[in-house]
Amino acid sequence: MFDFDRVIERRGTHSTKWDMTAKLSGITAPDALPMWVADMDFAAPPGVTAALKAEVERATHGYYADTGTWAAALTAWLKKRHDLTIDPAWVSPTPGIVSGLGLILQATTEPGDEVVVFPPAYHAFRKIILANDRRILDAELVQTAGRYAMDLDALAKKLTPKTRIVFFCSPHNPGGNVWSAAEIRALATFCAEHDLILVSDEIHCDLVFSGARHTPTLTAAPQIKDRLISCFAATKTFNLAGAHVGACVTSNPALKKKLDARIQASGLGSYNLFGMVATEAAWRTGEPWLDALLPYLEKNRDILANRLQSAAPGARAMKLDATYLAWVDFSGTGLPAKEVAARVADKARIFASPGPQFGPGGENWLRFNFATPRPILEDALSRIDAAFADLRAGK
Ligand SMILES: Cc1ncc(COP(=O)(O)O)c(C=O)c1O
């Protein structure tokens, strides 16, 4: 019913992923493959295309108002997929989650305040914190049994009177962890004990593979709801990143008022018509598409992990329960990180996200986006195979 194998030419379409690869990576080969930024190479759900077509055909594209049906669509989606009950009145739309994080920082902290992140963590957290003149407090994740865990005891020792807020990524990018309810509850309790606001970025919550289940932070720890802002979006789930629409959700009216004041002060209280139409249609009609996508992605995950590990002996993909971003540790190959990066970039002509951009702990890693039609994935893996052939010959 949905053809995820179909290759859609994206070069020359203002695609960040495809059209910025040469500029950002220095890989100028015309056949370069982008496996970096988190968008997928698949067509959006048909219901989204139909809603946008109807909008285009009406041909009047004036200001968009009344976010009621949009927030209701999000509310119904969260209930259905995650058994999470929210009130549409708790929702503040923002032009994406990253901009939402910036607005949250401005609403709740002062320049010089510290923001806790759990590296290796989504690099845009770091960027938006620094761009807002706040400071990063790194709470390095530790590896136990092949997955990441938070070390809250170590974090407690690092807190200062300037530490105000925590950016928590659930599921985790780049590790692909689905956090357990107990892990989330421990973090929430920690935030309450140390008077910290908890921002739970759940943009990847719908992209969870078989055997794992996402627990919303609000479900795991309702007792800290007054200090919690949860972030949701249709853009990652349904491949609508260019729509630039996100939702910041808090049941605390005072916190919401502060955030909404920042939204107004930034002139962002009016919304992008096409983004709102696309994301509402996605929540309302996209479920069969998502249900078909997840097994396709899961198979890509397994193909990539297996082939990569046999192509480059010693390389190891972290066990990935969610997201379409494989997090691969190359330290076991015995090659210096620079050499690995050069082989992937120059020999394989693949732009993977460099591990160091995710902060401490990312030094020997690369992140590969595998949300691409299988013919492209196969091409990428053959190239990686060739780029590390000498390692296998030497075995
Ligand atoms: C954890 C996380 N948050 C936010 C975003 C981006 O959100 P937006 O495009 O809505 O700013 C991403 C994109 O990869 C992400 O991985």
pLDDT in tens, 315-356: 999 999 999 999 999 999 999 999 999 999 999 999 999 999
Residue 295 in tokens: 């097994």
Q: Using pLDDT thresholds of 50, 70 and 90, give the confidence band for residue 302.
A: very high
Ligand 1 mean position, distance from CA 333 (Å)? 31
Q: What is the DSSP letter of 224?
A: G
With a 6 A CB cut-off, is 249 part of the ligand 1 pocket?
no
Residue 87 · residue 68 · CB < 8 Å: no
Question: Which ligand 1 atom is nearest residue 245's CA?
Answer: 10
pLDDT recorded at residue 127: 97
Confidence of residue 394 (pLDDT cuts 50, 70, 90): low
CA distance 3 to 17: 21
Q: How far apart are CA 110 and CA 44, in angstroms?
A: 39
Q: Give the residue among 139, 180, 160 at the shortest CA–CA distance from 321.
A: 180
User: pLDDT digit string (tens) for 216-272?
Assistant: 999 999 999 999 999 999 999 999 999 999 999 999 999 999 999 999 999 999 999
Please report the atom of ligand 1 found closest to the CA of residue 246. Answer: 10
**What pLDDT, on the 0 to 100 scale, is given for residue 393?**
81
**Region of 352 on the Ramachandran plot (φ > 0 left; ψ -120 to 50 alpha; else beta):** beta
Q: What are 72's two structure tokens?
A: 């209701």
Identity of the residue numbered 31: D
* 114-149 per-position pLDDT tens digit: 999 999 999 999 999 999 999 999 999 999 988 999
What are φ and ψ of residue 94, in 5° steps? -135, 160
Q: Give the ligand 1 atom nearest the CA of 169.
A: 1
Kindly state which CATH superfamily the domain 16-45+288-393 is placed in.
Aspartate Aminotransferase, domain 1 (3.90.1150.10)
Domain ranges of the chain: 16-45+288-393, 48-285
What's the pLDDT score for residue 395?
59
pLDDT tens by residue, 11-49: 999 999 999 999 999 999 999 999 999 999 999 999 999
Q: Judge whether 282 and 291 are in contact, CB under 8 Å.
A: no
pLDDT score for 379: 98
Contacts for 157 with CB less than 8 Å, ≥ 6 apart:
none
295 vs 37: CA distance, rounded Å:
21
Contact 89, 241 (CB under 8 A): no
**Whether residue 203 has its Cβ less than 6 Å from ligand 1:** yes
Alpha-carbon separation of residue 197 from 26, 115, 189, 348 (angstroms)? 40, 10, 11, 43
- For the cut 80, the answer to whether the pLDDT of residue 391 exceeds it is yes
Residues 186-209 have a mean pLDDT of 98
Which amino acid is located at 9 in the chain? E
Q: Return d(Cα 273, Cα 207) in angstroms, integer.
A: 26
Gap from CA of 299 to ligand 1 centroid (Å): 23
Q: In Å, how far are 38, 129, 239, 272 from 242, measured between CA atoms? A: 11, 22, 8, 11
pLDDT (tens digit per residue) in 75-90: 999 999 999 999 999 9
CA 79 to each of CA 194, 208, 216, 251, 358: distance values in angstroms, whole numbers, following the listed order: 31, 16, 11, 16, 32
Q: Helices 273-285 and 46-58: crossing angle, nearest 10°?
A: 140
The stretch 150-158 carries a mean pLDDT of 98
Q: Are 224 and 255 in contact (CB under 8 A)?
A: no
φ, ψ of residue 220 to 5 degrees: the values are: -70, -35
DSSP string, 382-395: HHHHHHTHHHHHT-
Ligand 1 contact via 40 beta carbon (within 6 Å): no
Mean pLDDT over the full length of the chain: 97
Pocket flag, ligand 1, residue 173 (CB < 6 Å): yes
For residue 67, give Cα distances in angstroms to 51, 100, 270.
16, 17, 10
All residues at 6 or more sequence positions from 132 whose CB lies less than 8 Å from its CB, including other chains = 102, 105, 106, 111
Name the residue at shortest CA distance from atom 10 of ligand 1. 96
> Measuring CA to CA, which residue among 60, 78, 80, 76 is closest to residue 68?
76
Peptide bond into 171 cis (omega under 30): yes
Angle separating helix axes 97-108 and 123-131, nearest 10 degrees: 40
* Cα(395) to centroid(ligand 1), Å: 40
Alpha helices in 312-367 (DSSP H): 337-342
Question: In the CATH scheme, what is the code of domain 48-285?
Answer: 3.40.640.10
